[in-house]
Structures are given as structure tokens and as C-alpha cells.
Amino acid sequence: DGGITQSPKYLFRKEGQNVTLSCEQNLNHDAMYWYRQDPGQGLRLIYYSQIVNDFQKGDIAEGYSVSREKKESFPLTVTSAQKNPTAFYLCASSHAGQGGTGELFFGEGSRLTVL
Amino acid sequence: DAKTTQPPSMDCAEGRAANLPCNHSTISGNEYVYWYRQIHSQGPQYIIHGLKNNETNEMASLIITEDRKSSTLILPHATLRDTAVYYCIVRVAPGDKIIFGKGTRLHILP
């Protein structure tokens, strides 16, 4: 079935460690997004990519990095520079440009806890 | 910053229509209005979208004012399963930067 898959679902890390969250989609979408959500809060945009080998910073990119080497993959690295990394991370994808409804498809999320 | 404003929470009796407002007074002529909902600890789910005409699908109806500065999402017969956070966003085109606000937490009362 077509969809967007995030892994791992739960992740624990020690302070000072980098961690990479995986996001894979088989929907043939050009655009992909990473959001962060803290308890009781809305979604905040970290990074987004409209095409392979290109990405832009969102509102809270500091302490995060991404790559877009393949159309179907958009991994997010939470670096040790991110001061408060404990959060729920959501990946999404959509068509870019004309065509399609433009709706966002979300993964099930990855919950990161820093010990 | 988000381009939309929504009330932080609302209550609705089960079986009644839930009407969720959204203000987007700075919307541009080519920006669409999209609605999503998020059930606890899951990824948001697409509900409906529109440009200037009212829209209806199997989940909900979207009413956009003539000046496009506000809209209302209508869940015609709310059930307990509609308890969620509802987000209204505006966007120009698929693939562009998409900013979410804090949404409206809808409580369906039995």
C-alpha cells in the first residue's frame, strides 16, 4: 500500500548524541516536510524539501539537519546542538506544483526522548 | 507565523453539528484553505480544502466567506470519534512552505 513510513516510533538518546529519524514515502511525492510537536502544542516546521537535492529551513531549523538524496527519503538528524530535543516528530509529503489536491500525507510520528 | 487564527477549544454535543471557525484575514487571492485534524499522538489527517467556493465531502463541509477572510468547518453530526485538534491552514500551491497554527481542540460531549 502507498504511504509514508517513519522509524523508529520511539527513540531514547543520551544528551550529546546525534540521532537520525527515518522518513520514507512511496507516493511519488516531490515535497517532503519535517515538523516538531511538543505536548499540547501545534506543529512547528523544521525543514522542507520541494525536490531532490534541495531543501529549505523552516521556523525552527537550528540544531537539526536533513538530506534529500532520493525522492522517497528525507531523513532528519537531531544534533547535539539542539537544546531541547525531546518531542514528537512528524514527517509529511505532498505533490508539488500543479496537479493533485495538494493534501499533506503524514507518517505516524517518531517520539524522541533525551535522557 | 501562522496566517490563521482559531479558538483554542470548543465543545459540541454528540449528534449535533460542530462548527469550527478560522480567521485568515490576510489570505492572498491564490491561497487555498485546508483543514486537517489530529487525534491524540497520531499524524494529522486531511479533511477538506477550498479556494472560494463552498465544498463538501464525506467527512465535512467547508464554508468560505465571500471576502475569503474567514471560513467554517462543519462536521454535520459529531460523534465521540471526532474529538481531536483541528487545524486550519492556508497555502498557495502544493509543495510550498506550510505553517500550522495551534488549532482548535474539539471536545464532543456525550
pLDDT, position B101: 87
Residue in A104, A105, A106, A108 to test binding to B, most B beta-carbons within 10 Å: A104
pLDDT along chain A (115 residues), means of 10: 90 92 95 93 93 94 97 96 93 76 89 93
Averaged pLDDT, B62-77: 96
Beta strands in chain A (DSSP E): 4-7, 10-13, 19-25, 31-37, 43-51, 54-57, 64-66, 76-78, 87-94, 105-106, 110-114
pLDDT, position B31: 87
pLDDT, position B1: 66
pLDDT, position B96: 79
Residue in B98, B99, B102, B105 to test binding to A, most A beta-carbons within 10 Å: B98
Q: Evaluate the CA torsion angle B57, B108, B87, A64 in order and state its sign.
A: negative
